[in-house]
Structure 1
């Protein structure tokens, strides 16, 4: 079985949630949250993750409106996806992230996690949610 590590990014205005797949591409694990500054310095940390984990593909959460259309945030994410693809020379897949943050927030609230603690992990968990959805869809398409 081919081993490919996939990186997922949940890109927000201030923070970027980072998740990584296991080598077999079955599960997503939240890795960290990277603070996003106006410059591209946060991408240096992403480069380190790509190198450390020998990443071969990047999945970026694409925020869509509930009707499926892409608004200004989605367009900004697509532009950033192109920038990431050019910078790292890796395939980038934009993945529908509708409801990922909402689902993660609900899970954390039901786990009775304080708002302060939720804020620290929600982006990382949203990246995991996005990546797990992508991995599950890929596995499903292998069995069709």
Structure 2
């Protein structure tokens, strides 16, 4: 997996200067998280309301890529608990292909099983009310997924 460090050649990548955007695709909202500039720590960034058109959603993601000088995008893959590709994962795969064709940086996928559950449990432990949790769960889940990817992928291989 390679990310285009400030859109430079992947062979010049340094683990100390790579920013990734994590995406949690939903039917109503897209959760977005971002790594720090060293590519080590993921933090929630925003929630993008879905439009009727994936192209419009991807334009908003491209705006975030440009604004934050992102080097790659990691999209959560909603595999079933058994690891199989179900309808949600198939839909995500199709949208990832669209994103790969339109976004200016590499787009990867990463297993997002249990990220929403982990995000909700963390917020419940922080005594957040259900209404507050619903507003931010998508970007928290995106951060959990992105952190998993950052921890999983060897920095020299991005």
- Provide TM-score, normalisation by structure 2: 0.85
SS of residue paired to 2:52: coil
Alignment match, 1:12: 26
Say yes or no: does 1:116 pair with 2:128.
Answer: no
Number of corresponding residues: 141
Does the aligned pair in 1 maintain the 2:19–2:39 contact within 8 Å? yes
> 5+ residue gaps in structure 1?
none
**1:11-46 CA distances to partner (integer Å, 9 max, x unpaired)?**
000000001111110100111000001113222221
Cα distance per residue 1:43-95 (max 9 Å; x no partner): 22211110011112110000011111010000000110110111014221110
Structure 2 stretches of 5 or more lacking a match? 1-13
* Aligned residue among 65, 82, 86 for 1:50: 65
Structure with the higher fraction of residues in strand conformation? 1
